[in-house]
Amino acid sequence: MQFRKILITGNAGFIGMHVFMKLSEKGYELTGIDNINDYYDVNLKISRLRAQGFQGDINNGEPIKSTINNNLFYKGNIQDKELVNKVFEENDFDCVIHLAAQAGVRYSLQNPDQYIQSNICGFQNIVEACRSKQIKHFIYASSSSVYGLNTKMPFSANNGADHPVSLYGATKKSNELVAHAYAHLFRIPTTGLRFFTVYGPFGRPDMAIFSFTKNILEGKSIDVYNYGRMKRDFTYVDDICESVERLIHKPPQPDADFNSDNPVPARSSAPFRIFNIGNHHPVDLGEFISAIEDAIGKKAIINYKPLQMGDVLDTFADVQDLHDYIDFQPHTSINDGVNRFVKWYKEYYNIAD
């Protein structure tokens, strides 16, 4: 099944930018929407849009065309139902890739309302528009944060994930539940993607690799929580993009073997699937810091701190289902990925070697 006309929400965001650019290079007809909020540096978000070929005035209230493949961009908020409906009315999408969200576990402790409005109300606007326009495949970003208190490793989408420890994780879990309801009621094929600690060029400044690189280069200390006793399944952004592109053309089908007496969370009698997208290789935080030090050629000054509220100790993705479904799984090593990020960071901020 081939889909060519795609809406990507959140294309001024980190993952959204990379997915947009990869699909643009493949010749898809793309439309993006993003509100370009000030959660972090707006200039970085503008730079991402410029890289996608959007050189015009993004604030004029009308969609602007990219200099690359005539793709479109709307500046706007997915919480604005009228705008969302306008975007869907003016275009004829085959597939929607919903990546717009209020990100960040720690920020949700101070600004819970923003997570409800963006991640739940905004999600509802998008999925309802998909229902109205009978979209053939709805793909959306979930998160490894849904696993919360789970300790059985590796995390499998076929096991329950019902105890999130952050509001961010709770909103992502709610997205999965709403998606299933729409898949069941309206037969909209929905695919949820639980991303595991995505990193790479143009990444978010609130992510560890960004702040660690910045502070090490500037000779400042880095805060390392739980005294460094944490592991993360770091996943390079190009591997995310490859996974998403392969999934576009494989909308889920109802599982003929679904057993409602013993339901598997990641599939259903509805056209519904959930996949982990992670590297299947958890990395100790100390090893991660060492990789950044090696890439920069400078030692970090480490300020150890207790575990923060909302953080989990370890993440580890079981990606067998993903591999079986698309014949691919993330594989970029931490050293290769970190080297690429540091190289981008120095070039972007004009830092000499």
- CA–CA distance, 292 with 154 (Å, rounded to integer): 25
Asked if 205 contacts 150 with a C-beta cutoff of 8 angstroms, the reply is no
Asked if 72 contacts 6 with a C-beta cutoff of 8 angstroms, the reply is no
Tell me whether residue 225 is one of the annotated catalytic residues. Answer: no
- CA–CA distance, 133 with 93 (Å, rounded to integer): 8
Of 73, 122, 99, 55, give the one whose Cα is nearest residue 237: 99
Which class for 136: exposed (0-12), middle (13-18), buried (19 or more C-beta within 10 A)? middle
- Using CA atoms, how far residue 230 sits from 208, 256, 262, 285, 316, in Å, is 13, 40, 33, 6, 11
Q: Which residue has the tokens 């999408």?
A: 93
The 3-state DSSP class for residue 40 equals coil
- Using CA atoms, how far residue 75 sits from 32, 43, 118, 206, 301, in Å, is 8, 15, 15, 23, 40
Catalytic residue (choose from 168, 182, 236, 345): 168
User: If residue 258 lies in a helix (H) or strand (E), which one and from where to where?
Assistant: none
Residues classed as catalytic: 168
